A and B are shown apart, each in its own frame.
Chain A
């Protein structure tokens, strides 16, 4: 089966290269047969990468420890569930997963363009997809073979096992969704390149790739959020975002992609910012490759260094190549891309979109610069440094606050031109809500400039969104005679593209509230307890009742039982664990959570001493659940915005006269 896997990779590489050759011949000779051949080759590439993925899954399921990759990331005691997900636990499997998903996306593009081969852009779209596939398949076929067997024909009786931190349900979906996001942006990039090569740089490429743009952004968002959720429940430090280099590597393309999605709307509506959108999609694609590269390159110390090897040079070359192609194409097609930009007014929604782009890119830049600064500093001064959470919190918090402010301002300023009267009328309610809401929070004891500003701006944005929903519902109710309760959901559904964006912004507001609450008002305590002793954290008292032990398939687990009291009243028990995996040097702490809409009680047991003495670390994280609820709503808004409109069966449409 290992040989079968290797052969499928070789065949996939051969077909992807063949597609490039055929497409280039087809374009240069203007011969339709070559183009058809190139398209078929892409389909065969998808077939063979699928077989390679199936072979890898089988090898994990069958405990084939003669395969280096399986030996490194699995063992016999590992539950089947995790054996299958160990596929993407290391660098080789991740690359195979990248190539497989990209080949399937290429197949979808091939299917979608089946009637469109005469279009001049189509062969170039295939070429970019085939070229990117060839890069990843080349790495898999040469220096990063996931099917490589252990040298000398030795078959170890058991594998090394999967990193205990990866044995969490969150890790099943976090890497694949992140990769779906990364890989997804290859398609709009391919369309953008094809548009520039053929000179068809109007908004057609944006319209055709809109669903790819938004869904890739949705998957990238889900991937980042699941990573945060995994960190929260698995790493045991009580937070969900640590500005780790690899977290940053996924966040930077997300920021640029968010900027792109916003300005794409402007191009579709006004046919402006065409050069800018090309720059953004090239940047997004390069940063997606950068994200993949940073995870496994080992150039920066990270909690994600699960299997770094020397692929850095290849990725750097590929990134520089893509950047170069992007710069050359944008420069060459600059005249075609340029339009006679004009805005009716300085104060318009279009201009707020531009300022939103500035802040998003400033955030991307500061995150990238901070992430790379240890390398820059060492190169310039020879001084080794660390740039971590406190730096990013200091530098990025003001930028995030500006972004929230713009998110609130945007809907209040009309498209094209805002009149002073309209501005006054639109700002009245949100400003009043912000002022009174902030005053109430202040009276309730909320202090600190940043938390109060974050909450105030969240109220402002929520009020602007509420105002949009209300005025839209009222207008619909007046037009149709429906009641508000019927008109509101129908308004959201019928105009889901417009209101999906507002729903996504509402989700973002809830996330801001959750992030602010859990960071600014977290309280924690640590105590070493004997049986019967208690500790307090916030309004909670924890009484240590007993320490138990049980064995699972691949681990021994110590579990402490603590009775929880809130303001003196019993509210349940909490059971933090310490797990000793048979194949790991370090034990892991398993978090025990009591989650409510107001706060999370977060308890871990860092150490177990002699005679059942335990050290317990407890924290109260206010509002943290709103991070997950907000994220869910934000992603839901994105999905809502791209749900197509179905035509009813039998719907009669007017035939145009000519």
Chain B
């Protein structure tokens, strides 16, 4: 049985092609709206809000885009006027880095713990196997897959009963 090397190579080529950056595109109002909250009190990201106030803010943003302002400049104008609370995600600096880093740290710690736990359990399993192994059991490990599946199905049926 051979591993599908050609497919793996193809997949990596595809992923590598994705690294090519997309061509620069004109700034749209939606891009800016996605980074801002509506200040009407609804708690919605501006791009999602449908109230009258959101239409006013959209008109302001469109005006700024037409006057040639960049996304960063527009966001800064809003922050200067309303404070950082107007941004839909906290800027990546200072204490805010905790918000961005904590989930990744949690995942890493969780994964490390799981690896330790599974290694410990499988080591215990190996010890038991060494103690209890007999020639008959060694033969049963190499049952044909069809037979294993049938046994598995029958066990499943019994379980459901």
Q: A: which residues have CB within 8 A of B?
A: 235-239, 242, 244-245, 272, 301-303, 305, 340-346, 348, 351, 354-355, 357-359, 361-362, 365-366, 369-370, 373, 377, 380-381, 383-391, 394-396, 399, 402, 415, 417, 421-422, 424-425, 427-428, 431-432, 434-436, 438-439, 442, 447-449, 452, 456, 471-472, 475-476, 478-479, 494-498, 524, 526, 586, 588-589, 604, 606-607, 615, 645
User: How far is A133 from B51 in the complex, measured between Cα atoms in Å?
Assistant: 40
16 new A-B contacts at CB < 8 Å, known A303-B43, A526-B58: A305-B43, A341-B117, A341-B121, A342-B122, A343-B118, A345-B125, A346-B122, A366-B102, A369-B102, A383-B95, A435-B8, A435-B10, A436-B10, A442-B17, A447-B22, A472-B149
- A–B complex contacts, Cβ < 8 Å, 9 sampled: A236-B50, A342-B121, A355-B114, A384-B84, A435-B6, A439-B10, A479-B150, A586-B52, A645-B160
Specify which chain A residues have a CB less than 8 angstroms from the CB of B70 in the assembled complex: none
Interface string of B115-146 (1 = CB under 8 A from A): 00111111011111100000000000100011
Specify which chain A residues have a CB less than 8 angstroms from the CB of B124 in the assembled complex: 340-343
Across the interface, do B119 and A471 meet the contact criterion of CB distance under 8 Å? no
Across the interface, do B48 and A242 meet the contact criterion of CB distance under 8 Å? yes
Across the interface, do B11 and A391 meet the contact criterion of CB distance under 8 Å? no
Interface residue range, chain B: 35 or more
User: How far is A606 from B51 in the complex, measured between Cα atoms in Å?
Assistant: 8
Across the interface, do B107 and A431 meet the contact criterion of CB distance under 8 Å? no
Specify which chain A residues have a CB less than 8 angstroms from the CB of B47 in the assembled complex: 237
| Shortest Cβ gap from A466 to chain B (Å) | 16
Q: Which residue of A lies closest to B14 (CB)?
A: A442
Known: A383-B84, A449-B18, A495-B160. A362 touches B106 (CB 8 A): yes
Across the interface, do B35 and A390 meet the contact criterion of CB distance under 8 Å? yes
Across the interface, do B18 and A495 meet the contact criterion of CB distance under 8 Å? no
Specify which chain B residues have a CB less than 8 angstroms from the CB of A478 in the assembled complex: 146
Across the interface, do B88 and A389 meet the contact criterion of CB distance under 8 Å? yes
Across the interface, do B45 and A394 meet the contact criterion of CB distance under 8 Å? no
Shortest 10 CB-CB contacts between residues of A and residues of B: A435-B7, A366-B103, A237-B48, A391-B89, A342-B125, A358-B110, A342-B124, A362-B107, A301-B43, A390-B89
| Shortest Cβ gap from A99 to chain B (Å) | 28
> Secondary structure at chain A's binding surface: helix, strand, loop or mixed?
helix
> Secondary structure at chain B's binding surface: helix, strand, loop or mixed?
helix
User: How far is A362 from B114 in the complex, measured between Cα atoms in Å?
Assistant: 12
Across the interface, do B146 and A373 meet the contact criterion of CB distance under 8 Å? no
Q: Which residue of A lies closest to B86 (CB)?
A: A386
Across the interface, do B37 and A388 meet the contact criterion of CB distance under 8 Å? yes
User: How far is A479 from B157 in the complex, measured between Cα atoms in Å?
Assistant: 14
B161 at interface, CB cutoff 8 A:
yes
Across the interface, do A342 and B99 meet the contact criterion of CB distance under 8 Å? no
B96 at interface, CB cutoff 8 A:
yes
The A-B contact count (CB < 8 A) is 220
User: How far is A301 from B85 in the complex, measured between Cα atoms in Å?
Assistant: 12
Across the interface, do A388 and B111 meet the contact criterion of CB distance under 8 Å? no
Across the interface, do B90 and A385 meet the contact criterion of CB distance under 8 Å? yes
Known: A301-B41, A354-B118, A385-B90. A395 touches B48 (CB 8 A): no
Q: B: which residues have CB within 8 A of A?
A: 1, 3-4, 6-8, 10-11, 14-15, 17-18, 22, 30, 34-35, 37, 41-45, 47-52, 55, 58, 83-90, 94-96, 98-100, 102-103, 106-107, 110-111, 113-114, 117-122, 124-129, 141, 145-146, 149-150, 152-153, 156-157, 159-161
Across the interface, do B4 and A497 meet the contact criterion of CB distance under 8 Å? no
User: How far is A421 from B120 in the complex, measured between Cα atoms in Å?
Assistant: 24
Specify which chain A residues have a CB less than 8 angstroms from the CB of B84 in the assembled complex: 383-386
Specify which chain A residues have a CB less than 8 angstroms from the CB of B30 in the assembled complex: 524
Specify which chain A residues have a CB less than 8 angstroms from the CB of B153 in the assembled complex: 472, 475-476, 495
Q: Select which of A303, A428, A449 is within 8 A of B4 by beta carbon.
A: A428
Across the interface, do B18 and A452 meet the contact criterion of CB distance under 8 Å? yes
Q: Select which of B55, B58, B110 is within 8 A of A362 by beta carbon.
A: B110
Across the interface, do B117 and A354 meet the contact criterion of CB distance under 8 Å? yes
Across the interface, do B4 and A431 meet the contact criterion of CB distance under 8 Å? yes
Q: Which residue of A lies closest to B95 (CB)?
A: A381
Specify which chain A residues have a CB less than 8 angstroms from the CB of B98 in the assembled complex: 373
Known: A391-B88, A434-B11. A355 touches B96 (CB 8 A): no
Q: Which residue of B lies closest to A396 (CB)?
A: B103
Specify which chain A residues have a CB less than 8 angstroms from the CB of B127 in the assembled complex: 342
Q: Which residue of A lies closest to B152 (CB)?
A: A415
User: How far is A524 from B31 in the complex, measured between Cα atoms in Å?
Assistant: 12
| Shortest Cβ gap from A371 to chain B (Å) | 11
Across the interface, do B14 and A452 meet the contact criterion of CB distance under 8 Å? yes
Q: Which residue of A lies closest to B110 (CB)?
A: A358
Across the interface, do A435 and B4 meet the contact criterion of CB distance under 8 Å? yes
Specify which chain A residues have a CB less than 8 angstroms from the CB of B149 in the assembled complex: 471-472, 475
| Shortest Cβ gap from B106 to chain A (Å) | 5
Q: Select which of B45, B94, B95, B145 is within 8 A of A242 by beta carbon.
A: B45
Specify which chain B residues have a CB less than 8 angstroms from the CB of A524 in the assembled complex: 30
